[in-house]
């Protein structure tokens, strides 16, 4: 038996020294040291031996076992080192190579305008308000003095979801939402940027576009306040020399209603292709909040007055950055986006 054990021992040692990969060592451990291995099967035969023989035999098996186990361990360490060395040799890092260039994004011209307009009005003490894009007929039209069947609905050909829900056609419903939330107690001074939807599609109109609504409600508010606010805005946005003129217009929720023009920033008012020779560029719709709207939205029209305005975001961006087609805003072309806004 001792001969046989020595044979197993030397076979194990030669297997270990011939092993080239770590998996082989796991196999060798199974073959020589597992409970079912030949070496271990000798253990069960020990009871047939005399006491002395059992001691020396047991010691022999243990020392062989320990030796095989420690050789396997040594070999494992050396194979692992080799593997690491190989890997390091293969994965050479060349620190002298130039780094990869990460292309840096830029603000979309739409968002650049929203941020600039918001900043101007926040500077005048306005707060930002938000409203849902899927709006009820009540907020989008009825509370804004446009009852069902009113011809003014035709101005804003709309996307209805059902009889009483639509994609909002303007940001003006935020006026009604804010007024109702204030329960008849002023003052209110908000702007509300967001997306609106209309059945429009050409170079200057898109079925989805952005507006910024403004609303001020307080006691003793008049057209002069509206004009001076718009002048401050025009100068901050388009340059100190800008002037504002108001032309009378019609919106159902303001009375009187106006369209505001700014003096052309391209030609300074002399007349050019941008202002189509008029010296003026139309920039927003505005007016004094209609008493019906104040009343329906919970304000006493004898105590409070207000003004409101609506600015087209793409329109401002197109004017300011000289963009000729509104559809370019939505094509996600980075080259387009990058041209206009510098941090
Ligand atoms: N909501 C109007 C539009 O979309 C603009 C507007 C807003 C006019 C506020 C007056 C007051 O055309």
pLDDT at 128: 98
- Residue 2: other Cβ atoms inside 10 A: 12
| Nearest residue (CA) to ligand 1, atom 10 | 286
Asked if residue 212 has its Cβ within 6 Å of ligand 1, the reply is: no
Per-residue tokens: 94? 């060349």
- What is 109-335's CATH superfamily? Bira Bifunctional Protein; Domain 2 (3.30.930.10)
| Nearest residue (CA) to ligand 1, atom 4 | 170
Asked if residue 305 has its Cβ within 6 Å of ligand 1, the reply is: no
**Ligand 1 atom nearest to CA at 211:** 4
Tell me 8's DSSP state. Answer: H
Instruction: Spell out, as residue ranges, where the chain has pLDDT lower than 70.
Output: 341-343
Do residues 283 and 319 touch, judged by C-beta distance below 8 A?
yes
Ligand 1 mean position, distance from CA 97 (Å)? 57
Asked if residue 286 has its Cβ within 6 Å of ligand 1, the reply is: yes
| Helices (H), ranges, the chain | 2-18, 22-33, 38-45, 51-90, 109-123, 137-140, 173-181, 223-238, 291-296, 313-321, 334-338
Q: Residue 228 and residue 234: Cα distance in Å, rounded?
A: 10
Do residues 267 and 274 touch, judged by C-beta distance below 8 A?
yes
Asked if residue 191 has its Cβ within 6 Å of ligand 1, the reply is: no
Asked if residue 312 has its Cβ within 6 Å of ligand 1, the reply is: no
- Crossing angle of helices 22-33 and 2-18, in 10° steps, is 170
At residue 10, what are phi and psi to the nearest 5 degrees?
-70, -30
Asked if residue 287 has its Cβ within 6 Å of ligand 1, the reply is: yes
| Domain ranges across the chain | 2-90, 109-335
Do residues 114 and 311 touch, judged by C-beta distance below 8 A?
no
3-class secondary structure, 209: strand
pLDDT at 5: 87
**For a pocket test of ligand 1, which of 157, 253, 258 has the largest count of ligand atoms closer than 8 A to its C-beta?**
253
Ligand 1 mean position, distance from CA 271 (Å)? 27
Query: How many H helices and E strands in the chain?
Result: 11, 10
Closest CA to 195 of 163, 177, 218, 169: 169
pTM of the model: 0.71
**For a pocket test of ligand 1, which of 141, 154, 196, 211 has the largest count of ligand atoms closer than 8 A to its C-beta?**
211
Asked if residue 283 has its Cβ within 6 Å of ligand 1, the reply is: no
pLDDT at 343: 59
| Nearest residue (CA) to ligand 1, atom 7 | 310
**For a pocket test of ligand 1, which of 169, 172, 229 has the largest count of ligand atoms closer than 8 A to its C-beta?**
172
Asked if residue 173 has its Cβ within 6 Å of ligand 1, the reply is: no
Asked if residue 254 has its Cβ within 6 Å of ligand 1, the reply is: yes
3-class secondary structure, 227: helix
């Amino acid at each position: 038996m001792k001969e046989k054990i020595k044979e197993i021992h030397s076979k194990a040692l030669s297997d270990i020294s011939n092993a080239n990969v770590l998996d082989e060592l796991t196999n060798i451990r199974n073959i020589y040291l597992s409970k079912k291995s030949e070496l271990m099967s000798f253990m069960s035969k020990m009871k047939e031996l005399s006491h002395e023989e059992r001691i020396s035999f047991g010691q022999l098996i243990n020392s062989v076992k320990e030796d095989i186990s420690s050789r396997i361990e040594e070999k494992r360490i050396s194979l692992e080192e080799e593997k690491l060395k190989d890997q390091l040799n293969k994965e050479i890092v060349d620190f002298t190579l130039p780094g990869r260039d990460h292309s840096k994004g830029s603000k979309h011209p739409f968002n650049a305008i929203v941020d600039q307009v918001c900043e101007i009005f926040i500077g005048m003490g306005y707060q930002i308000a938000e409203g849902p894009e899927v709006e009820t007929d009540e907020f989008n039209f009825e509370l804004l003095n446009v009852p069902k069947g009113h011809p003014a609905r035709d101005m804003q050909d709309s996307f209805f979801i059902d009889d009483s829900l639509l994609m909002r056609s303007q940001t003006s419903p935020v006026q009604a939402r804010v007024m109702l939330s204030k329960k008849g107690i002023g003052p209110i001074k908000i702007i509300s940027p967001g997306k609106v939807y209309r059945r429009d599609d050409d170079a200057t109109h898109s079925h989805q576009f952005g507006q910024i609504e403004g609303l001020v409600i307080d006691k003793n508010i008049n057209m002069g306040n509206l004009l001076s606010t718009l002048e401050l805005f025009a100068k901050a946005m388009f340059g100190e020399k800008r002037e504002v003129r108001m032309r009378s217009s019609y919106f159902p929720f303001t009375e009187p209603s106006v369209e505001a023009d700014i003096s052309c920033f391209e030609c300074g008012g002399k007349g050019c292709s941008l202002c189509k020779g008029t010296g003026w560029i139309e920039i927003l719709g505005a007016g004094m909040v209609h008493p019906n709207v104040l009343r329906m939205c919970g304000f006493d029209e004898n105590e409070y007055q207000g003004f409101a305005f609506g600015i087209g975001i793409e329109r401002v961006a197109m004017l300011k950055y000289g963009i000729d087609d509104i559809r370019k805003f939505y094509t996600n072309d980075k080259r387009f986006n990058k041209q206009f806004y510098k941090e």
